Chains A and B, each alone.
Chain A
Amino acid sequence: MRIQRPVLGSITLLVFIISLLPVPVLVWMSLFNQSYLVVPPVGGYTLDWYIALPMQTELFGGLTYSLTLAAWTAVIATTLGVLAAFGVRLGAIKRSGLVENLLTLPLTVPNVVLSMALYIFLFRLGDMVGISLIGNFYSLLAGHVLITLPWTFRLASAGVLGLSEDLERASLNLGRGRLQTFFRVSLPLLKPAVFSSAMLAFIFSFGNLEISLFLVAPGETTLPVAMMQYVETRLDPTVAAMAVVQLALIVVLLALANKLFGFGRTFTGGLKQ
């Protein structure tokens, strides 16, 4: 604690305040009793925009669609991430570094490019087999699993590396099979890492715009796509209210995750590179 903590603390606080500034502003704007942005609001405040949200078919449809998509993404990406983390730990394969690089590749390829490449690939594949493979939920799901896999893999890996092999060996020695040991010893011990992975995958899928750009079907868009289309024409309390709903959902999930399995703590070790 030799370096002046108050100075560092003030810098940290200041950057936090600035980077979180959009949150209070969106909340404030969503309560304006007028459809345009004039501060301070001439018409006072109202909750009407929130009540009217379900009537906004594009935005609200986007919300329900994105929630379903994010839930499926979380389940699949977490399963794949945990399995892969165990696979790497077994360490019996050569070139595990290559596998790890492959698993983090979706982070470094531009998501718009990935979306475009997937679109072209699925379009041509569909052409060959004679059924349309694009513009449906599953192609979108594949894209979302792809971009969340690096995160679930990393979080699961951090958890798996911290796992003591002694307990698993004890279980194997006592006559349990590998499968039973996995489900009754390893997995319960990994609970915080598994739930944190799922939470992160859910939130990232829910907020990601780019990967969906080429893959959404007309009339069935994700929330970020619907919001981008909306703000192209106007910025009003309705879209602010939608953004606040999205932020509130993330806050609730985070608070829950932190209380139940110490989500913040899973990150305090940072992410191993």
Chain B
Amino acid sequence: MTQARSHSRLYSWVLLGPGVLLLTIMLIIPMIGVVPFSFGERTVSGFSGGGFSFDNYVRIFTDEYLRGVLIRTFVIAAITTLLALVLAMPMTYFISRSKPRLKGVLMILILFPLLAGGVVQSIGWVAILSSSGIISQWLQSAGMIDRPLEIMQTPQTIIVIMALIDLPMIVLAIQSSMDSVGDTTERAAQSLGASRFRAFWTVTMPQIMPGIVAGTSLAFVLTVNAYPTPVLIGGSQVRMASPEIYSIVTRDGDWTQGTALALMVVVLSFLITGVYAKLMSQRFDKWRR
């Protein structure tokens, strides 16, 4: 090893040091630190009463309510991600083929919901959709319905709203690959007689696949982790994991069950996105050949 090389290695670590240190002390160690609690016994005086058992994990699958929360969370996240992808594709295509000035404005518009944050957005949606909300009142005064509209606290509404919130993530992820592909190859395919759709599907699609996989994985995880939207829109009817973890700890004071559910959610979402990425890359390699 030359001296210059070992020098730049040293610089590299000096520069990376602060960030890596912060993440190790404030994320890795705390996350590992909660693992023992999830195997502990419930106590009123601290985080865990000690002991070692799988009870908290077993309960997640045997308790009908907890199992419902877990399954519901992942099913809603999958459907939400799919819907967000379907909406994101034409939008990304449009944005990516726009002139630079318009593109900048469109990107800010697409980012806006993400930047505004889930709390403000969800409060707005409650005002629009709740049984005493604007749409319900309009429909009632127009005589189209005779009872207040009950569309809040349903999985469908949550899915639509969260898909809108996920949209920016997927667009951001696909856009870079869509830009680098450009439309020349697609046009070449068309001039060789392929239909517009076929040209997009067989030429552009395989090339933007990595972006799609990355974007949908992130959107899926973010939906699994969502907090304000499930609380404000889903309420007590459509319970999802993050609010449930918070409730178990703060309402029931049960840190052991809370940490077990939390770790289960983290592990499952890592597993699911990992398998998904693997399967997609296998398919996608075949596609390219």
Contacts and interface: CB of A to CB of B under 8 A. Distances in A.
Interface of A: 1-3, 5, 7-9, 11-12, 15-16, 18-23, 25-26, 29, 37-39, 79-81, 83-84, 86-88, 90-93, 99, 102-103, 105-114, 116-118, 120-121, 123-124, 142-143, 145-146, 149, 153, 178, 200, 203-204, 206-210, 213, 224, 227-228, 231, 235, 239-240, 243, 246-247, 250, 254, 258, 262-265, 267-273
Contact of A142 (B22, B107, B183, B224): B22
B67 to A, nearest CB: 19
A109 B104 contact: no
A39 B15 contact: no
B26 A153 contact: no
Given A25-B128, A208-B117, A2 B175 contact: no
B279 interface: no
A15 B93 CA distance: 14
B277 to A, nearest CB: 11
21 contacts: A12-B90, A15-B87, A19-B167, A22-B125, A23-B124, A26-B120, A37-B127, A83-B15, A84-B18, A93-B9, A102-B20, A108-B269, A113-B245, A113-B266, A116-B249, A117-B262, A227-B120, A228-B119, A262-B104, A270-B172, A270-B177
Nearest to A102: B23
A206 B59 CA distance: 37
Contacts of B167: 15, 19
Interface of B: 5, 8-9, 11-20, 22-24, 26-31, 33-34, 37, 47, 87, 90-91, 93-95, 97, 100, 103-113, 115-121, 123-128, 130, 132-134, 137-138, 164, 167, 172-179, 183, 186-187, 190, 196, 199-200, 210-211, 214, 218, 221-222, 224-225, 227-228, 231-232, 241-243, 245-246, 249, 255, 258-259, 262-263, 265-266, 269-270
A91 B5 CA distance: 10
A178 B11 contact: yes
A11 B106 CA distance: 13
Contacts of A209: 117-119, 227-228
Contacts of B34: 116-117, 120-121
Contact of A87 (B15, B22, B187): B15
A46 B119 CA distance: 24
Nearest to B227: A210
B225 A204 contact: no
Please give me the 5 A-B residue pairs with the lowest Cβ-Cβ distance, nearest first: A22-B124, A207-B117, A270-B176, A264-B104, A87-B15
Nearest to B263: A113
B159 to A, nearest CB: 14
Most buried by A among B8, B106, B107, B116: B116
Nearest to A203: B115
Contacts of B258: 116
A107 B221 CA distance: 9
Contact of A38 (B94, B137, B175): B137
Interface of chain B: mostly helix, strand, loop or mixed? helix
A3 B27 contact: no
A80 to B, nearest CB: 4
A20 B109 contact: yes
A139 B269 CA distance: 27
Given A16-B109, A149-B22, A243-B123, A110 B12 contact: no
Given A20-B112, A88-B16, A268-B100, A120 B107 contact: no
Nearest to B241: A110
A2 B107 contact: no
B15 A108 contact: no
Given A83-B16, A270-B173, A105 B27 contact: yes
Contacts of B179: 268-270
Contact of B23 (A23, A103, A110, A207): A103
Given A3-B200, A107-B218, A203-B115, A99 B16 contact: yes
A267 B33 contact: no
A146 B26 contact: yes
A92 B109 CA distance: 39
Nearest to B110: A16
Contacts of A264: 103-105, 107-108
B33 A121 contact: yes
